[in-house]
Amino acid sequence: MNAFYLTTMRAVAGLMMCLLLTACDNPVQATYSDTAAAFHPSDECHVCGMIIDGFPGPKGEVVERAGIKKFCSTAEMIGWWLQPENHHGDAKLYVHDMGRSPWNAPNDAHLIDAKDAFYVVGTQLKGAMGVVLASFSSREAAEKLAAEQGGRLLRFSEITPALLQQH
C-alpha cells in the first residue's frame, strides 16, 4: 500500500505541476485606455496634494499608460505638462468643457482634449490657487465668457510658464 500511495502522490504532484505551468502559459494582459476618467471626492492634485473637489472651475488630468494624474485646475495640469521631463508620447490631456458645465461643479461627462481646447485667462472667476484658465470646446463659448467676464482667448500652444506665474 505504501508503494501505491507514493505512486499516487507523484501522479497528483505531476498533474498539479502541469496545471500550474498551463496557467502560466497565457499571462493576463493589463488593459489600457486613454479615455478620460471621472474625478472622485477623495482625489488629490498631483502637484499640490490638495483635495481637487474643494475648488470651483475646470480641472485637468493626464492619462498615460503608467496611470492617471489629476489636477485641481487646468493651470496646474498645463504647468506640470510644460516641464519637459513630464512629456510622454502616449499621454492624453483632458480638461472640463465649461461651456457645458456649471462653474462650481464641472461635469466629468464633458471632459475634452486639452490640446484642442480654447482657454480664457484674466477673468475674475474663482478657481484653485494661481491663474484661472477657463477651458472650452468651442471658440464661441470662450469668446462669450471673455466678453462677459473680461479676459482674453488663448490656445493650448500659447500658454507659457510665464503666463501661469501671473496672479
Identify the pLDDT of residue 19. Answer: 52
Band of pLDDT at residue 13, cut at 50, 70 and 90? low
Identify the pLDDT of residue 80. Answer: 96
Are 125 and 57 contacting, i.e. CB atoms less than 8 angstroms apart? yes
* Rounded distance between C-alpha atoms, residue 82 and residue 133, angstroms: 15
pTM of the model: 0.80
If you average pLDDT over residues 2-21, what whole number do you get? 59
